[in-house]
Structures are given as structure tokens and as C-alpha cells.
DNA sequence: GGGCCGGTTCAGAGGGTCCTGAGAAGTTCA
DNA sequence: TGAACTTCTCAGGACCCTCTGAACCGGCCC
């Protein structure tokens, strides 16, 4: 089976070909970061910088999903959405939008099951939302297990945003939740603080790696408190989450 | 079984094929939003912008239901209705009409089992009405369970518009009812304020997400008052309804 | 041992999210 | 027409989340 840089099997559609995503943003840097992260996750990625070329690219690529900036130089996102749906009716769309534009043009978007993320976002957020869209659309075979992540007796339900350990409910803040999700999606793999910062914190975060240590300590208090620890420090390298008994 | 983007099983007719609906409206944005919401609910959707193409599309699609704007650029909705019935006698029709439209004529039509919604409507309203029509027509297998929604000891009878908790009747305003219905149709799933706004409030509502918080607080006062809470806030994410003990 | 380094933890400021009460405008119904 | 109800805006305030700064801890090397 084809594998990706992340070590996970490539995401494939029911017919075995890789999942395709089109990234549309007029900021080339951001488009690059996004497509890098998605490629890493096993997507076949293509980018476009404006509405016209987005529709053209979609006609060629016939993507399963589109990551679409609402503010584009030529057209507005809603028009692009309509064109995309005429190109491929069952395409999933994830919108990127500025914080204060939310109420405006996003109206009606999520009604179709599409979703949106506000800038500045974290890559983990984008990747997770996209996964959610595809899973609900029944597109990717690998996602069939559903919205559940498990490490030992620690269980995360992404849809319900619920985390339990040994059946006991654990309350987490948004950042704690994202950090834990990132760890749990990469069990038994050492993640550096830089990696964590890049994925869990938003791309324009200027802070230092110290926050990662801080949030790891928060997580430990809630997740590992008084129990066999799942979260481990690897000095000089980063952190891992792994079950106690392999 | 085939599933939809909403995670619910696809709506199917007695013979196993998906339910088909034709959306007829001359406003392409509205048609797009409507068809998105219906597709998400498991319908096979097709749209038309005027009476002539509506009849043509119906002849091809042979829809189980039609969502029909009364005001069309070429013909009026009632003429279309007659044509539709010659194409497929047992089709269910949901009319979309302006608030001050001639109510008598609508009522004459709906006597036949069809229904109508006045603009501006909420998507939740349209989706629910359509469900009701199909259920009464005995079309969809999945709807056989009837009009009852249950979360813990909270019970909603959609047809009677009645809500009880622990047997005790709870009086709700229209908006409160729709909000609660949307929550109860998605138990244990965190719904963002944007999602709620898109589905429960009418499509032309310009207000801010703040109203959602307000109505959640109203609901809590009536539904959760002095009892074990069913409605939960997930900070930074949205709201969930779920029974205390799973 | 002393200094250094990576990591952990505590305390607290500031900012944001969310809740709620009060009240204005619009709607329904008698 | 007036009263009751519904819907929504506004503003105050409580609480939580996030991040900074600084102290602390233990291992490692000189």
C-alpha cells in the first residue's frame, strides 16, 4: 500500500485512488503551508490563487474537497461555491474566513454540511475539520472507524468533543483538546515542540515553545492524574503519547 | 447501509433507492442553500429556476417531493403544480410563499395534503415540514418511527409541537421549539453557533451569533430548570444536548 | 561542587467567551 | 386599540482560558 511522509497509509477513496483536495487562497505562503500539511496527511493537493483558476482547476482535478478562502481577489466565495457544486455536486468545502467576516458571507454555508475555520487557524484544526467532512460524506475508507481516537484506556470522541479515561469524563479547554488530539493521532511517535507548535497553535502565533510545556503539564494533570502515565517526555526530543501496555 | 454527510442513514424509498426532491426557486443562492441542506439530510436533489424547466426536470427525475416557490418568473406556482401532478400524481409539494401572499389559495391547495412555508423561513422548518409530508405519505422507511424525539427524559412530539420532560409539559415559543428540535435531532454532537444560526434562524437574518446564546439561556430556564442539565456549553466550540447518563 | 540546561510548576494579568437582566420594537390576538 | 407575547439589541459582569514571568528541580558536564 502507498504510504505518506507521515507514515500513515495514504488516504484513498473507495476505488483506491488517493483523495484529492484543492486549496484556494490568494496568499501563496499560506497556500503553501496548507498544502504541505495536507500532503503530509496523505492528500493529493493542488492550489489556486483566485476564483477563476479555482473553478478551472476543479474541472480538471475533480477534487473530493476544497479549502476555500472566502475573500478572493476576483469573485466572492459564494459564487465559487455554486460553480464548484455544478462541477462536482458532492464536493466538500471548508471555508477560510477572517474573524469578523463570519456573520457576513458564511451564512448558509454550514447548512449544507460544509464547514468553516476562522483565521488565524491552526493546521490541526483545518486537517481535523477536513477529516470530519470527508468522514461524514463517507468518502475515505480509512476514516470509517468513525470519530473515535483511542490510546490505551483513553478515548476521544471528536464529534462530541468528549474525552474519557477508564470511562471517566475529562473536561478540556479548546487548546488542551487540540493538543491531545494531535498527540493521539500520532501515538507512539515522538513529536518535537516545534512540530506541536506548528500544528496546534495558529500560524501567526509569535510565542515561545514554553507554552507547549505548559499545556503538556495541564494535560498531564487532567489525563494522567494519579494513573499510569500515557504522556511521556523524551528529553531533548519532545513528547510521546503511548499506551502503558503495548 | 448508505450514509449521508449528516451521519444519518440515507433516506430511502420502500424499494431502497434514495428519496428524490426537486427544488424550484428563481433565486440561485436560495436554491443552493436549500439543496445543500436537503442533500445533507440524505435527499437526492435537483434544482430548477423557473416553471418550464421545473416541469422538464420533474419529467426526468420523477421526484417524491417538490419544494416550490409560488412566485416564479414565467408561470405561477399553481400552474406548475397542476403539471407536476400530471407527471406524477402522488408527488408531495411544499410551497414557499411570501408572508402576505393570498393565504386562501394556499390553504385550498394544502387541503390535499401538501404544505407550505412562508418566507423568510428557516432551513430547519423546511426540512422538518418535508419530513412530515413524506412520513404522512408513508414514503420513507426511516421515518416510520414517527414524530418522536427523545433525549433522556426529554421528549418532543414534532407533530403535536409538544415537549415534555419527566412527563411534565413545557411551553416553548416557536424559535425555542426549533432550536430544541435541531439540538435533539443531533444529540451528543457539538453544534457550533454558526451551524445553529444557519439552520434555525431564517436565511435573511442579519443578526449576530449572540441570539443563539440568548435562546440557549431561555431553553435552559424552561428545560433544565432545577433538573440535571441536558444542554451543555462547550467553550470555544458550541453547544450539545445529551443525557447525563449515557 | 557549581554552573548550565531542559523541563516542570506556580501565580497572576489580561483578554475573551458566555450568561443574564432590562428594555425596545414588532407581532398576534382578543 | 390595547395587552400579552415574542424576538432581538445592549450592556454589565462573571468566569474561564491563555500566556508571561519567575522560581524550582534534577541531571549532566566541567
Nucleotides of C under 7 A from a protein CB: 6-11, 17-22
State the best of B194, B231, B245, B246 to mutate against chain A, taking most chain A CBs within 10 Å. B194
Task: List chain A residues with CB under 8 Å of B205.
Answer: 107
User: Does B233 contact chain A (CB < 8 Å)?
Assistant: no
B244 touches chain A (CB under 8 A): no
**Rounded Cα gap, residues B38 and B32, in angstroms:** 10
Query: Are B42 and B18 a contacting pair, CB within 8 Å?
Result: yes
Cβ pair A67, A39 in contact under 8 A: no
Q: How far apart are CA A63 and CA A88, in angstroms?
A: 8
Q: Is the CB of A225 under 7 A from strand C?
A: no
- The nearest alpha carbon in chain B to A77 belongs to B29
Query: Cα separation of B53 and B49, whole Å?
Result: 7
Strands (E), A123-215: 148-151, 154-157, 162-165, 168-170
Mention every residue, 6+ apart, whose C-beta is less than 8 A from residue A218.
Answer: A173, A176
In angstroms, the CA B104 to CA B90 distance is 23
Question: Residue A214 CA to nucleotide C12 C1', Å?
Answer: 15
Set of cell numbers at residue A192: 518535537
C1' of D24 to CA of A178 (Å) = 29
| CB contact (8 A) between residue B194 and residue A116 | yes
What are the tens digits of pLDDT across the range A177-203?
999 999 999 999 999 999 999 999 999
Q: What is the pTM of this model?
A: 0.93
Return the closest-CA partner of residue B128 out of B90, B88, B94.
Answer: B94
Residue entry with cell 416553548: B172
How far apart CA B151 and CA B146 sit, in angstroms, is 15
Query: Residue B157: left (phi > 0), alpha (psi -120 to 50), or beta?
Result: beta
Residue B94 pLDDT class (50, 70, 90 cuts): very high
- Spatial CA neighbour of B68 closest among B22, B33, B5: B22
CA of B38 to C1' of C15 (A): 40
B232 interface with A at CB cutoff 8 Å:
no
Chain A nearest CA to B45, separation (Å): 10
**A78 reaches B (C-beta below 8 A):** yes
User: What are the phi and psi torsion angles at A172 (to 5°)?
Assistant: -130, 145
Distance between start and end Cα atoms, chain B: 25
> What single string gives the DSSP state of each residue in B147-159?
SEEEETTEEEETT
- Which residue has better confidence, B6 or B233? B233
d(CA B70, CA A109): 25
Q: How confident is the model at residue B102 (pLDDT cuts 50, 70, 90)?
A: low
A chain contacts of residue B207, beta-carbon cutoff 8 Å: 103
Find the nucleotide nearest A207 (Cα to C1′): D19
Helix (H) or strand (E) holding A78: helix A77-87
Distance between start and end Cα atoms, chain A: 24
Q: Report d(CA B132, CA B144) in Å as an integer.
A: 11
> For each of chain A's 246 residues, which pLDDT tens digit applies?
455 666 666 678 878 888 999 999 999 999 999 999 999 999 999 999 999 999 999 999 999 999 999 888 888 777 888 899 889 988 999 999 876 655 555 677 888 889 999 989 999 999 999 999 998 887 766 665 667 999 999 999 999 999 999 999 999 999 999 999 999 999 999 999 999 999 999 998 987 889 999 999 999 999 998 899 999 999 999 999 999 776
Question: What does chain A come to in residues?
Answer: 246
* Interatomic distance A235 CA / D26 C1' (Å): 12
Contact A100, A57 (CB under 8 A): no
Amino acid at each position: 500500500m502507498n504510504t505518506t511522509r507521515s507514515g500513515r497509509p495514504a488516504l484513498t477513496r473507495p476505488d483506491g485512488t488517493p483523495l484529492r483536495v484543492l486549496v484556494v487562497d490568494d496568499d501563496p505562503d499560506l497556500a503553501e503551508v496548507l498544502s504541505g500539511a495536507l500532503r503530509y496527511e496523505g492528500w493529493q493537493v493542488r492550489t489556486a490563487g483566485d476564483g477563476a483558476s479555482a473553478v478551472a482547476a476543479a474541472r480538471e482535478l475533480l477534487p473530493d474537497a476544497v479549502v476555500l478562502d472566502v475573500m478572493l481577489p476576483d469573485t466572492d466565495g459564494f459564487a465559487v461555491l455554486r460553480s464548484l457544486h455544478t462541477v462536482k455536486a458532492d464536493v466538500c468545502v471548508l471555508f477560510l474566513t477572517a474573524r469578523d467576516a463570519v456573520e457576513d458571507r458564511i451564512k448558509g454555508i454550514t447548512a449544507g454540511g460544509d464547514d468553516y475555520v476562522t483565521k488565524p487557524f491552526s493546521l490541526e484544526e483545518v486537517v481535523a475539520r477536513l477529516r470530519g467532512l470527508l468522514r461524514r460524506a463517507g468518502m475515505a475508507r480509512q476514516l470509517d472507524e468513525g470519530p473515535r481516537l483511542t490510546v490505551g484506556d483513553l478515548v476521544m470522541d471528536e464529534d462530541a468533543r468528549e474525552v474519557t479515561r477508564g470511562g471517566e469524563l475529562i473536561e478540556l479547554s479548546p487548546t488542551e483538546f487540540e493538543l491531545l488530539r494531535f498527540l493521539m493521532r500520532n501515538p507512539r511517535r515522538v513529536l518535537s515542540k516545534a512540530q506541536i507548535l506548528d500544528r496546534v497553535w495558529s500560524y501567526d502565533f509569535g510565542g515561545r515553545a514554553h507554552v507547549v510545556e505548559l499545556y503538556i503539564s495541564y494535560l498531564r494533570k487532567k489525563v494522567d492524574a494519579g494513573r499510569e502515565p500515557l504522556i511521556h517526555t523524551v528529553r531533548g526530543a519532545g513528547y510521546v503519547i503511548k499506551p502503558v501496555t503495548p
